[in-house]
């Protein structure tokens, strides 16, 4: 595990750089003593060699990253739910168009046979187009990541894991745990950030919840939690 006094936060920094680069800039201004640790791409060995422990400062940076991940995962879930609703509406339209376009139904309303054929062809085309659009949007929603249900499950798991780890870390800061105990929590939180870096960012981007969509409000939320956690 290495020196616990210098538990790394490199994965948390990478997560912040992907989800909220503006917040990372703010943290650099707030914690100039963490100049080395807050550089993107610094590995664990580099941190240990040139930086003092600053355990509680590291913990607050990690807390900001975890809160950011939880909030963005929640937003991605909400966006995904809206897109699923749109997909279902398009599929419903397609099914209705197919039903109305059936020659038997058109005959039942006593349309001219020639007119009925034209109307049926148009409605069939619209139904196919609606279904094609629904499939396209579903593909954007789940870009090689599994079914819609699996996407919802993974986003929910990511949100829960980040929120739970952030709550544990915040409690550790409030209780003023020893540096060694706090460093163990930081190490586990950084490992979680490594896992989230491997898949959560791609899912969040796929739901249209990138940094451009209100990142300032998310930064305010995480900043408030970080300030509240200060001893």
Residues 76/209, Cβ–Cβ less than 8 Å: yes
pLDDT, residue 207, reads: 67
Contact 24/37 with Cβ under 8 angstroms? Answer: no
DSSP letters of 71-123?
Answer: HHHHHHHHHHHHHHHHHHHHHHHHHHHHHHHSHHHHHHTT--HHHHHHHHHHH
- Angstrom distance (rounded) from CA 98 to CA 74: 37
Q: What is the pLDDT of residue 215?
A: 40
Q: What is the pLDDT of residue 179?
A: 87
The first and second tokens of residue 28, run together, are 């650099």
- So what's the pLDDT on residue 155? 86
Identify the pLDDT of residue 169. Answer: 95
Neighbours of 12 (CB within 10 A): 31
Q: Alpha-carbon distance 183 to 181, whole Å?
A: 5
Q: Report the C-alpha gap between 151 and 183 in whole angstroms.
A: 32
Q: How far apart are CA 1 and CA 8, in angstroms?
A: 10
User: pLDDT tens per residue, the chain (231 residues)?
Assistant: 444 557 889 999 999 999 999 999 999 999 999 988 898 876 654 555 445 568 999 999 999 999 999 999 898 888 878 777 777 777 777 666 666 666 555 555 555 566 656 666 666 666 666 666 656 555 555 555 566 777 888 888 999 999 999 999 999 999 988 888 999 999 999 999 999 998 888 877 776 633 333 344 344 444 433 333 344
Q: Is the pTM of this model over 0.85?
A: no
pLDDT of residue 193: 94
The predicted pLDDT at position 17 comes to: 94
Q: What is the 3-state secondary structure (H, E, C) of 34-65?
A: HCCCCCCCCCHHHHHHHCCCCHHHHHHHHHHH
Token reading at 217: 């409000």
pLDDT for the residue numbered 222: 41
Q: Are the CB atoms for 24 and 222 separated by under 8 Å?
A: no
Token code pair at residue 58: 């590291």
pLDDT at 229: 38
Q: What is the model's pLDDT at position 78?
A: 85
pLDDT value at position 188? 95
């Amino acid at each position: 595990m290495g020196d616990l006094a210098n538990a790394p936060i490199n994965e948390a920094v990478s997560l912040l750089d992907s989800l909220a680069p503006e917040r990372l800039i703010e943290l650099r201004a707030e914690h100039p003593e963490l100049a080395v640790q807050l550089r993107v791409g610094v590995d664990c060995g580099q941190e240990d060699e040139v930086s003092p422990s600053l355990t509680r400062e590291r913990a607050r940076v990690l807390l900001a990253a975890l809160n950011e991940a939880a909030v963005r995962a929640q937003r991605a879930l909400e966006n995904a739910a809206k897109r699923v609703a749109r997909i279902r509406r398009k599929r419903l339209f397609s099914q209705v168009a197919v039903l109305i376009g059936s020659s038997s139904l058109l005959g039942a309303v006593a349309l001219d046979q020639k007119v009925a054929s034209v109307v049926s062809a148009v409605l069939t085309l619209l139904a196919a187009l609606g279904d094609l659009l629904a499939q396209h949007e579903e593909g954007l929603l789940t870009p090689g990541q599994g079914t819609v249900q699996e996407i919802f499950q993974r986003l929910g798991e990511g949100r829960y894991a980040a929120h739970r780890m952030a709550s544990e870390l915040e409690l550790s800061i409030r209780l003023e745990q020893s540096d060694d105990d706090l460093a163990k929590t930081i190490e586990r939180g950084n490992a979680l950030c490594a896992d989230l870096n491997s898949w959560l960012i791609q899912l969040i981007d796929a739901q249209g919840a990138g940094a451009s969509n209100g990142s300032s409000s998310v930064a305010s939320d995480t900043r408030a939690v970080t300030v509240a956690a200060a001893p």
